[in-house]
Structure 1
Amino acid sequence: MKLFKYAIVALFMPMMASAGEAKVTWLDFKEYRDVFPAKETRGGYHKRIAKQFDAHLSKLASEMPEGYTLALTFEDVDLAGDVRFNMNDIRIIKPIYFPRLKIAYNVTDKAGNVIVESQSKVLKDMGFMDRIKFGRDTEFYYDKRLLSDWFEDEVAPVITSKSK
């Protein structure tokens, strides 16, 4: 039985290996539209946002061919929901508080040629609560889904056509 488990892991390891790379740049969090924490310090919350988004973008970039690099800068961040400041600061998620991200990005191939790029691209999902929610309820779910949708719709098709 143990041999069988190891055989499966060895069989799928090449598919799990990271091929592409993501390089994420953050500007001053104090300048972003809405990155307000509910019940924690601003610095800790900002580090958590950066860590979560960096990991998500690395996961997306791993789907790119080997040697490709996604360089992305967050110019503005407006997280899904809105923080209510009262006795119990909480982030309220309602349809009127949709996620909005302003990014600049480019994707380069092994040789350093730019495959796709955009300056000051605004991503938003005004119907973010109207769609079916798949998977576990993770932190920054709607914001990460916005990035995933952008990557699948705008980046992946260009990379696929260029790498053939």
Structure 2
Amino acid sequence: MRTLTVTGLGLACLLAVAGAHAKPRNVSDPEAPRALPTEGTVQVQWTDPAQFTELRTSRNRWEAQRGDWVVTLAEHLRKQADKRLPEGQKLDVTITDIKRAGDYEPWHGPQMDDVRFLRDIYPPRINLQFTLTDANGQVIDQGERRLSDTGYLFNSSLPSNTDPLRYEKRLLDDWLRRELQPERKTAGL
């Protein structure tokens, strides 16, 4: 019985020490990945999140950089693009800037420092570069897009959705719906 207690206590201490040294997730960590693992027909990478508008202009930079929301958005983009991409085509996307919907308003006081206020003056914005190729590697389309949804608060289908990235995901979904239309054959046609 005493051995079990000592072992349990030792394990608890080990977990506490390991937890103390674990770094919180931070999108601007220089050691964090800058691309999803290469697989399938959709490749997604991103530039340095520390340079994204979301972090550069945030009124609460610490809260804005918490989590792995860049990876979550990249995974969502890959999953949705993979569903829409015509067979034989490949899509390569580089996310160059993100400004999430809403912002922090420090004038509400310290108890509200970590609350993101959703107002029409804080629309979601995503800038990206992409290249769409066919099965032979011929470029079908490429370019840069600046996505924004100034009416993001007026979509009645989202109030029950509690995903903190729901507005940014919808922005990407709308872009994919417009960009990946089945009747597209080659660039310029």
Q: Shared topology, TM-score over 0.5?
A: yes
More relative contact order in 1 or in 2 (CA 8 Å, sep 6+)?
A: 1
Q: Secondary structure of the residue that 1:161 maps to in structure 2?
A: coil
Distance 1:76 1:151 in 2: 17
> Post-superposition shift, 1:66?
3.3
* TM-score (norm: length of structure 2): 0.64
Distance 1:96 1:41 in 2: 17
2:151 pairs with 1:130: no
Q: Secondary structure of the residue that 1:95 maps to in structure 2?
A: coil
Q: Say if 1:125 and 1:146, in contact at 8 Å, map to a contact too.
A: yes
Corresponding residue for 2:129? 104
Relative to its length, the structure with more strand (as a share) is: 1
* TM-score (norm: length of structure 1): 0.72
Corresponding residue for 1:23? 43
Q: Name structure 1 gaps, 5 residues minimum.
A: 1-19
Q: CA RMSD in A?
A: 2.4
> Residues 15-50 of structure 1: CA distance to partner in whole angstroms, max 9, x if unpaired?
xxxxx62211211111110145787583x52xx112
Corresponding residue for 2:82? 62
2:162 pairs with 1:162: no
Q: Say if 1:38 and 1:91, in contact at 8 Å, map to a contact too.
A: no
Q: Secondary structure of the residue that 2:153 maps to in structure 1?
A: coil
Distance 2:72 2:164 in 1: 8
Q: Say if 1:61 and 1:69, in contact at 8 Å, map to a contact too.
A: no
